[in-house]
Every structure is written in C-alpha cells, then in structure tokens.
Amino acid sequence: MVILNVIKMITRRKFIQKAGLGAASLPLISSTHPLFTPTVIPPDIPLLRVAIMGLGSYANRVARAMETCSRAKITGLVSGTPSKIKDWQKRYGIPEKNCYHYNNLEEIESNPDIDAVYIITPNGLHCEHTLKVAGAGKHVICEKPMAINALEGKQMVDACEAAGVQLLIGYRMHFEPKTLEAINLRQSGILGKIMFFQGLSGFKIGNPNQWRLNLNLSGGGAMMDIGIYSVNGARYMVGEDPIWVSAQQTKTNPSKFKDGIDETIQFQMGFPSGAVASCLSTYNMNYLDRFFLNGSKGFIEMQPSTGYGPIQGKSHLGPLSGPVVNHQTVQMDAMAGILLYKEQAPVAVDGKEGLKDMKIIDAIYQACRSGNKIYLPKL
C-alpha cells in the first residue's frame, strides 16, 4: 500500500507541474478510493502459508520472488516429479509432511501449515486441480488463464464458493505500480473520453514439443498464453468490459501450430462507451509487448507493458514514474492481504474476474471460426 501512496503523490505532482493546474482544480482519485486506501499492518501479522503446485520455470520465478515477501511464505509443495520436490525441499526447508503428489492432494485438508495453494500447472489441469484444492478447504491462487474455457472457469468459481474458500487469479499486472499509475491517469479524467486501445502481445515460441503447443494441456495457442494480457489489459486500461468481439486467425506453420493451436490472432473489441480496441496475439513474432491508450485529451503508451522486466511508459504529460518492483513479490504480498485480512485489490483478481476473460477468449475463438462479430452478454 505504501507503493500505491507513492504513485498517488508522484502522479498528482506531475499533473500539477505539467498540466499547469492548481491543486484544487485537479480531478484526481480520492484518497479513499480502493486503489489508494492504506492498510495499517500490525508488526505481528501471521504470514500467508502457501503451497506451490507445479514446480516448473514460472513456479521458480514465483518462489524466488517470495523469498523477499513480508506477508507470504512457501510452506508446502505439490508435484508429480519426486526429484523436483527433493530439490525444492532443500532450497526452502519444506518438511516431508508438507509435500504432496497430485494423486494425494486431498490429504492437504488436514495440514494446518498450508492456507492456500498456488496452482502453476498447465492450463488444461487448472480446473481439476482447483476443484481438488477447494474440496480440501484451502484457498486457491491459480495462474492465468484460469481454465481452458468459460465452462471450466465457472465450475472453478462455483466450487470455491461452495467450499467457502477464495479463488484468486495470478494477475500480477494488477499490482504493478506503473500500470496502476496509468489506470489512475485514465480514471482522473486527464485523458478525456477514451477512444481507442491497442494491445500487442507476442513472442516467437521455441521448442515445438513443449506443453504450450499441446492442445490437451494448453487449451489453445498464443491466445491462451500471451494473448490474455491484451484481453485483460484492454479491460483495465479502457475501464470497461467489451460488448462485442471480432477476430481473424493467421497460421503460417501448420506443422508446428496444429489444429486448435493458434499461431497469430488479430482481434477487435467494442465497449459500451464507443471505445474500440485492436489487438494482436502471436507465437510467431518477437518484440511485441506494447499497450497504447488514446483519449480525446491525451494518451498513455507502455512498452514493455506486461513483461517481467521493468515496465516503461509515458503519457502526454511525460514519463510514468511508478517505482520498479518485483511483480510476483508485490502480487503475493497483496494476495496475502486479500486472503488474510479481506483487503481489496486495486484491480480485481478474483475468480469472477478471470471468468470474464475466459468468456471473451471463448468469443474470440468463436469469431475466428465463424468470421462473424460476436456479441457478448453482460460480463
């Protein structure tokens, strides 16, 4: 929360200096707005005790980031590969009683050392694993996309609600300072009426045998991996949910990108205010990590906009100046506050938020198949 207050202070000073406005005339977010509500944290707060499920490359990134968390720590492991568990046990001092295989996950129910399970397995396993974790009475943090379609996503939301546990989705950008600064700019009215958003998300994927190119495990191609950043980013940058989508798919290498695995999709979205978005999701082009938001009075450009390294951005008023942080550290500390103290995320990260993205992605795939504009019910 200290980070968010720093963003507020920096943004306000920048507006006053560069826009030539008096403080009294500046339409900024209130200090009571949930983006900037400080939380008094007692010195003896308990830590969120997290079991990491799926010990692959991104799990390693999360774990390294959690080494500097002040409100969360790793206390359990879940993997189908015993050798990985042994390595992680040594690194993080995890006792044998807190280590599980996918086949005995339900036994986690009786373990008081674990509050939540962070599911970082392939997309096609998210639903199954979430249902098991919820059934064991533990909170769920699930990587995005939350599932391979909206039907599975709804099952996950319903299961967690029925079990009385919370479901959070790993939207790390919802806590990133420059991203929040950009949202603050848009909400302040400084940009005027929002007209247009562009999101470019892509990279050239390597190993053709990896799980991301296996339909059963991934649920799709680039859209289910990198494309979701532009889907979700359009929503938080524009500040609305779309009411229609259209999309076109391009495939230049069908031997690598087999049926059901999208290589490149261009998609468009329309919003209730009249704003439109034009986005690109691809596994066949590098150097695509850019957001651009256009308003009647100004703009925001972010590049890189969602990568792991420092986010960079500017507006018509000058550079975005939010501090550089480790995304996963900030994410996990914030999620600890949500799960332990009912704190409010600056941008929603719950299962219902993830379900909205799944409904949009389902519609994008439908638009690719049909060639038609697909109208969305209220998300």
Domain boundaries, the chain: 48-170, 193-296+350-379
DSSP per position, 101-122: -GGGGGGGGG-TT-SEEEE-S-
User: CB count, 10 Å around CB of 233?
Assistant: 23
Predicted confidence at residue 245, as pLDDT, reads: 99
20: left (phi over 0), alpha (psi -120 to 50) or beta: left
Predicted confidence at residue 45, as pLDDT, reads: 72
* pLDDT digits (tens), the chain, 379 positions: 434 443 444 344 443 344 333 333 323 333 333 443 434 455 667 899 999 999 999 999 999 999 999 999 999 999 999 999 999 999 999 999 999 999 999 999 999 999 999 999 999 999 999 999 999 999 999 999 999 999 999 999 999 999 999 999 999 999 999 999 999 999 999 999 999 999 999 999 999 999 999 999 999 999 999 999 999 999 999 999 999 999 999 999 999 999 999 999 999 999 999 999 999 999 999 999 999 999 999 999 999 999 998 999 999 999 999 999 999 999 999 999 999 999 999 999 999 999 999 999 999 999 999 999 999 999 9
User: CB count, 10 Å around CB of 165?
Assistant: 21
User: CB count, 10 Å around CB of 113?
Assistant: 13
Q: Where are the beta strands (DSSP E) in the chain?
A: 48-53, 72-78, 99-100, 116-119, 139-142, 167-169, 194-202, 244-250, 264-270, 276-282, 288-295, 299-302, 313-315, 318-319, 374-375
CATH architecture of the domain covering 193-296+350-379: 2-Layer Sandwich (3.30)
Q: How does 52-78 read in b/e, with b if 16+ C-beta sit within 10 Å?
A: bbbbeeebeebbebbeebebbebbbbb
Map residue 234 onto helix, strand or coil: helix
Identity at 264, one-letter amino acid code: T
Predicted confidence at residue 292, as pLDDT, reads: 99
How many Cα atoms occupy the beta-carbon half-sphere of 41 within 13 Å? 18
Q: Is 157 within 8 Å of 351 (Cβ atoms)?
A: yes
Q: What does the alpha-carbon distance between residue 196 and residue 211 come to, in Å, rounded to a whole number?
A: 35
Query: What is the reported pTM?
Result: 0.90
Q: Is 161 within 8 Å of 140 (Cβ atoms)?
A: no
Q: What does the alpha-carbon distance between residue 308 and residue 229 come to, in Å, rounded to a whole number?
A: 12
Q: Are strands 167-169 and 194-202 parallel, antiparallel or unpaired?
A: unpaired
Q: What does the alpha-carbon distance between residue 232 and residue 120 come to, in Å, rounded to a whole number?
A: 19
User: CB count, 10 Å around CB of 128?
Assistant: 17
Q: Which fold has domain 48-170?
A: Rossmann fold (3.40.50)
Q: Is 335 within 8 Å of 324 (Cβ atoms)?
A: no
Predicted confidence at residue 21, as pLDDT, reads: 36
Query: How many residues would you count in the chain?
Result: 379
Positions marked active-site: 144, 229
Predicted confidence at residue 35, as pLDDT, reads: 43
From residue 315, how far is each of 61, 151, 179, 181 by CA, in Å?
A: 30, 39, 12, 10
